[in-house]
Amino acid sequence: MGQHMARHLARNGVLCAVSNRTHRKAADLADELAVEPVIDIADLSRLCTFVVSCVSADADVLEIATSLARHAPPGFVLVDSSTIAPATARRCAEILREVGADFVDAPVSGGVEGARNGSLSVMVGGESVTVDRVRPLLRSFATRVTHMGPVGNGQATKAVNQVLVAGIAQGVCEGLALGDALGLDRENLLATLGAGAAGCWFLERRGASMLEGRFDTGFKSSLLHKDLGIVADLAAVAGTGATIVEQSRKDYAALVAAGHGDEDISALIRIKRGRE
């Protein structure tokens, strides 16, 4: 996703450098986009006023914030599009604000397709003045940018998003597994379901591919499993129900253990068919 987002930033003329823990990836993308490849992340705050990060884990974002704070001048902003805990986002803001810089949590929804097409939805947490400064960057790869409140609220919103994503995947995968087991015509089934109250993005974009056993595109099952751990902690503190979250954590843990962690979350149909 990060590569696609970088391409949109480049097309809008605001990208000056790229970095990746796999330096070859950074070098190749830098060549493609005619920008500077950076090995030491800390150097990005020397070159850029804004840095957009997209990584997988809380510890990674904390490391990036700490590294950038070493050289960050006043006014520098780290815009993080990863999915992390709200508390981690707030800690990153503290680290950067200590040196006169700032932090915005801006997790995204829309998957790889949304990143490729520049049609992501971004849920943003941060100071209003800082959000206004980075909004043009976010609009480079998003069709909707919503300021949800202070730092951490973007991640809280993403947590709600992931509950819905997991619940929809549960329903669609279980329903299509049943339809297949009953011998219903796949093409007619998808067309009929999509035209009624069951119609949704996940059914439209993943229905056919999951019935064909193709799970090579989209949002990795291992990443949703990681995200649901964050959601479970938030729900426990908030005291809300988490039935979908807990069942989905169990199911996606089983997929990861069976070696399907890199497959799209529609691979859940494997379990619904009783094969994993």
Catalytic residues: 158
The C-alpha atoms of residue 203 and residue 201 are separated, in whole angstroms, by 6
At 168, which amino acid appears? I
Q: Give Cβ neighbours of residue 144 (< 8 Å, ≥ 6 apart).
A: 120, 121, 122
The C-alpha atoms of residue 12 and residue 4 are separated, in whole angstroms, by 13
| 104, two tokens | 């915005």
Which three-class secondary structure state does DSSP give residue 18? strand
Q: Are strands 77-80 and 142-149 parallel, antiparallel or unpaired?
A: unpaired
Query: Taking the CB of residue 241, how many other CB atoms lie within 10 A of it?
Result: 10
Query: Taking the CB of residue 65, how many other CB atoms lie within 10 A of it?
Result: 25
The C-alpha atoms of residue 161 and residue 171 are separated, in whole angstroms, by 16
